[in-house]
Amino acid sequence: MDLWIFATLCAATFQTLRFMLHKVLSGGALSATGSTFARFAYASPAAALLLGGYLWTTGAALPVLGAAFWGWAVIGGLGQILATILVVLAFRERNFAVGITFKKTEVIQTALIGFVLLGEVISLMGWVAIGIGLAGVLLLSRTPDAVGLLRGLRSRAVLLGVGSGFFFAVAGVGYRATTLSVPSDDPLLRAAVALSCVTLMQSLAMAVWLRWREPGQLGAVWVARRRAVWLGLTSMAGSMGWFTAFTLQTAAYVYALGQVELILSLAASVLFFRERVTARELAGIGVLTVSLVVLVLVL
């Protein structure tokens, strides 16, 4: 199995856990912005320890980072902050299924943004796999029918979903460019350096914002540390997987394979919450699985 495939599967697994924790935290004392800050604040120290441990173990030197690295890191980091806030806000919408479906347009949006900014071209079979995957996502969305889906276009959840998908696409392309800007041939070192720098910048920027706009949230994040620390650890582990995959493969393909997260979420729903699976959801799993297999085979 190629390293980018393994890294993406690990990232999707940890992201499933992270979004579950986001939902729990955002439903309590933390605002959408506070919950997002908690993710970066508790992930940043773990990312720094990971980088330090990797440098000590391998004996590698810390690469010298240029202006291009920092520029792309800011773009990717800001995109991820905005995308996460919009997703957390979508969790509070009653029309959650429709919103999360449109959030998954991130794959197509990533392909388009990657082409515009980085000149990365998706093959014909790659587009076929992405198209099949989108059909599977629509089946898994639990939207009852086409009429219901069209009706949902007018909802706030759709705006949040499409917006989060756009900013996740910006983050994915930005992070791929960030990791490629690290002067090293070691994909794990590239990923660890980018992750450590980005999470530190995100933590500092959001701390300043919260101190200015929502000062009470800084204390609330500390009070919620027993849960929030797990949010940070799962975020760090998932982001390390995404960053590693981005160093090795086009962001659109990484996100396309990352849609396995939907299958993992449904499995968790059945195995841990004892919820029933409908025939529509089983069909969606089947279609999405086909798209993932096609994607892996054509790359």
Residue with tokens 């919820």: 275
Element (H, E) at 2: none
Buried b / exposed e across 17-56, counting CB within 10 Å, b at 16+? bbbebbebbbeeebbbbbbbbbbbbbbbbbbbebbeebee
Q: What is the pTM of this model?
A: 0.81
| Distances 195 to 77, 291, 297 between C-alpha atoms, Å | 10, 29, 29
Total domains present in the chain: 1
Taking the C-alpha atoms of residue 235 and residue 239, their distance in angstroms, rounded to an integer, is 6
* Radius of gyration over every alpha carbon of the chain, rounded to an integer in angstroms: 19
Residue 135 sits in which domain range?
3-298
Model pLDDT for residues 73-123, shown as the tens digit of each residue? 999 999 988 987 887 777 666 544 555 566 667 777 788 888 888 888 778
Taking the C-alpha atoms of residue 170 and residue 168, their distance in angstroms, rounded to an integer, is 5
Model pLDDT for residues 145-165, shown as the tens digit of each residue? 544 555 555 567 667 777 888
